[in-house]
Amino acid sequence: MTIRADLDERFDEILTPASLAFLARLHDQFAGRRHDRLDARMRFRKRIENGHDLRFLPETRSIRENTEWRVAGAGPGLDDRRVEITGPTDRKMTINALNSGAKAWLADLEDATSPTWANVIGGQISLFDAIRGQIDFVSEEGKEYRVTAEETPTIIMRPRGWQLVEKHLWYTDRAGHTSPASASLVDFGLYFFHNAQALIDGGRGPYFYLPKLENHLEARLWDDIFTFSENALRIPHGSIRATVLIETISAAFEMDEILYELRDHAAGLNAGRWDYIFSLIKNYRCRGRSYVLPERSLITMTVPFMRAYTELLVQTCHKRGAHAIGGMSAFIPNRRDPEVTERALAKVADDKRREANDGFDGSWVAHPDLIPTARAEFDAVLGDRPNQLERQRPEVSVTARELIDLSGIEKTVTDAGLRSNVSIALRYIESWLRGTGAAAIDNLMEDAATAEISRSQIWQWIRYGIVTEEGTTITHALVESLLQEELRAMQRSGSDRFDEAAEIVKMVALEEDFPTFLTIPAYAQYLVERPAAIAA
């Protein structure tokens, strides 16, 4: 492994010769298989574009029908997950999460983190210090932040997905070929190498969230990485626990199989609602007008295809002894407008009440002020129980067709909804370029997943010439005009990254080609290190 970047303060504590050697071993063993899986993703997408319909795999029917096998389940400190807070790993956000009162913290190196070099390694330093109880932070204004909570959340780290690379670390294989390292292996490897034993000694870890898996073969790859890593560092087999985000449409058809592949390390599945919607649009974007979705605010968890997905997830998890974790509530309380906050908290309560009554064992929030609302709904159902694994949901029966059935959904698109998508995509990407991957926009905590929905809907609405409720036909020229209007309005904020953000929006939403993830071209071409991009 070769470092192609400057080392900031304390970076040498993470990028040690021993940890880099461990990363090299991970790449020796698994870099080739990662490329194979990415190639398989591309072939699979082409099959769907050409008319192949998703189905439950006939070749794995025996796994689904075998009622005997179970997963490892919750590890120490992970029995009760009724409210989990999510967020990036800069020092201030780490301290806020540890003080939040949540049961678990999704320490996010993926969608909520802009992968600047400072954020990637700075996040590892934050986690290193948090695990050892030695983290503090002083803001530029002189405000001190310290961990004051008597009980802190269990840390569940989310590495970046398989599709991403880390351009500041390069791997040379045995044949002498050099390429950027896998971001997944870098994030997992550094965290595991430095913290696995400390987490075991503390009785809470090491635990991971696995993002954007598309099938059980990708789960098998992660399980092999876990086993290899445990053996390499002489960690007892099964110490790792992983919760898989079911946030791709194909993974929804292989939930049993994903848990089976990870059964020695699996703790649960999570209903990653925003990426799931993006995945459906991405894979079915060329399959006709029947697969065009309405604007994002109308795609609730109660529409038929989302309802089928979450019902099947709870049933599958509890049948196998795994936790079912619900989706994100991303509202940011508005202290200047109590009425807006009151209405939003009522919606959060409704969402969490539905999840708790459906059998979910816990759920996500993006802001500490949402924790009391979410916890109250789960407390009302769980009481003193840490979870509700005993709810087997035998009455649930979900067909393959129901998972992709968009009939009966109101297909409303408004002028305001189109403008909102343009604005969110532009403002989020600009924030991401500045090094902030969790951005407060219009009272919501937006991350890469919601920006993906915004840009993919724009692309699809243009393709099919969707007419808004007001009678406006959505065209390439119209969207470009709206983008220029938003750009002029935003440039008054003083940031110099909006022009670059606008170019990225054009690339991922207006060109004929459809990049699989906006972060791939954005990272390769636009994420340039600047002092303003360095996280606290």
CATH of the domain at 196: 3.20.20.360
Is the bond preceding residue 76 a cis peptide, omega within 30 degrees?
Answer: no
Helices (H) and strands (E) in the chain, counts: 18, 15
pLDDT in tens, the chain (536 residues): 999 999 999 999 999 999 999 999 999 999 999 999 999 999 999 999 999 999 999 999 999 999 999 999 999 999 999 999 999 999 999 999 999 999 999 999 999 999 999 999 999 999 999 999 999 999 889 999 999 999 999 999 999 999 999 999 999 999 999 999 999 999 999 999 999 999 999 999 999 999 999 999 999 999 999 999 999 999 999 999 999 999 999 999 999 999 999 999 999 999 988 999 999 999 999 999 999 999 988 998 889 999 999 999 999 999 999 999 999 998 988 888 889 899 999 999 999 999 999 999 999 999 999 999 999 999 999 999 999 999 999 999 999 999 999 987 888 999 999 999 999 999 999 999 999 999 999 888 999 999 999 999 999 999 999 999 999 999 999 999 999 999 999 988 777 799 999 999 999 999 999 999 999 999 988 886 644 333 32
Task: Let me know whether 358 and 474 are in one domain.
Answer: no
Task: Let me know whether 40 and 119 are in one domain.
Answer: yes
Task: Let me know whether 44 and 95 are in one domain.
Answer: yes
φ and ψ at residue 309, rounded to 5 degrees: -65, -45
- Looking at the domain assignment, is residue 297 inside a domain? no
Per-residue pLDDT at 535: 31
The Cα–Cα gap between 5 and 49 comes to 40
**Residues with Cβ < 8 Å from 28, sequence gap 6 or more?**
173, 174
The Cα–Cα gap between 479 and 361 comes to 42
- Looking at the domain assignment, is residue 331 inside a domain? yes
How far CA 367 is from CA of 61, 127, 148, 374, 413, in Å, comes to 41, 19, 18, 11, 29
- Looking at the domain assignment, is residue 293 inside a domain? no
- The residue out of 403, 437, 472 marking a domain boundary is 403
**Residues with Cβ < 8 Å from 536, sequence gap 6 or more?**
90, 91, 92, 137, 139
> Residue 259's Cα: distance from chain center in Å?
18
| Closest C-alpha to 411, from 276, 299, 278 | 299
The Cα–Cα gap between 76 and 74 comes to 7
Task: Let me know whether 6 and 88 are in one domain.
Answer: yes
- The residue out of 373, 403, 433 marking a domain boundary is 403
Task: Let me know whether 342 and 488 are in one domain.
Answer: no
- Looking at the domain assignment, is residue 409 inside a domain? no
The Cα–Cα gap between 329 and 450 comes to 12
Per-residue pLDDT at 529: 60
Task: Let me know whether 32 and 127 are in one domain.
Answer: yes
Pairing verdict, β 439-441 and 444-446: antiparallel
The Cα–Cα gap between 453 and 508 comes to 11
Alpha helices by DSSP H, listed for 405-536, are 415-433, 448-463, 476-491, 498-505, 519-525
Task: Let me know whether 318 and 466 are in one domain.
Answer: no
Per-residue pLDDT at 237: 98
- Looking at the domain assignment, is residue 296 inside a domain? no
At 417, the amino acid letter reads: G
Number of domains in the chain: 2
Task: Let me know whether 397 and 480 are in one domain.
Answer: no
DSSP state, 468?
P
Task: Let me know whether 423 and 367 are in one domain.
Answer: no
CATH code, domain with 457: 1.20.1220.12
- The residue out of 403, 429, 449 marking a domain boundary is 403
| Closest C-alpha to 189, from 229, 222, 234 | 229
- Looking at the domain assignment, is residue 294 inside a domain? no
- Looking at the domain assignment, is residue 58 inside a domain? no
Per-residue pLDDT at 534: 33
**Residues with Cβ < 8 Å from 353, sequence gap 6 or more?**
377, 380
Pairing verdict, β 154-158 and 104-108: parallel
Domain with 347 in it = 2-53+63-276+303-403
The Cα–Cα gap between 162 and 22 comes to 18
Task: Let me know whether 36 and 110 are in one domain.
Answer: yes
Task: Let me know whether 399 and 437 are in one domain.
Answer: no
Q: Which residue has the tokens 């806020």?
A: 96
Tokens read off for 416: 């305001």
Q: Give pTM, 2 decimals.
A: 0.96
Task: Let me know whether 394 and 436 are in one domain.
Answer: no
- Looking at the domain assignment, is residue 281 inside a domain? no
Element (H, E) at 269: strand 266-271
Element (H, E) at 267: strand 266-271
Q: Which residue has the tokens 């340039």?
A: 528
* Longest Cα–Cα distance in the chain: 65
φ and ψ at residue 269, rounded to 5 degrees: -130, 150
Angle between helix 476-491 and 498-505 (nearest 10):
170
Q: Which of 80, 111, 256, 447 is catalytic?
A: 447
The Cα–Cα gap between 474 and 460 comes to 10
Q: Which of 81, 158, 241, 285 is catalytic?
A: 158
Tokens read off for 534: 């360095």
In contact, 180 and 167? CB cutoff 8 Å: yes
The Cα–Cα gap between 428 and 405 comes to 30
Q: Can 447 be counted among the known catalytic residues?
A: yes
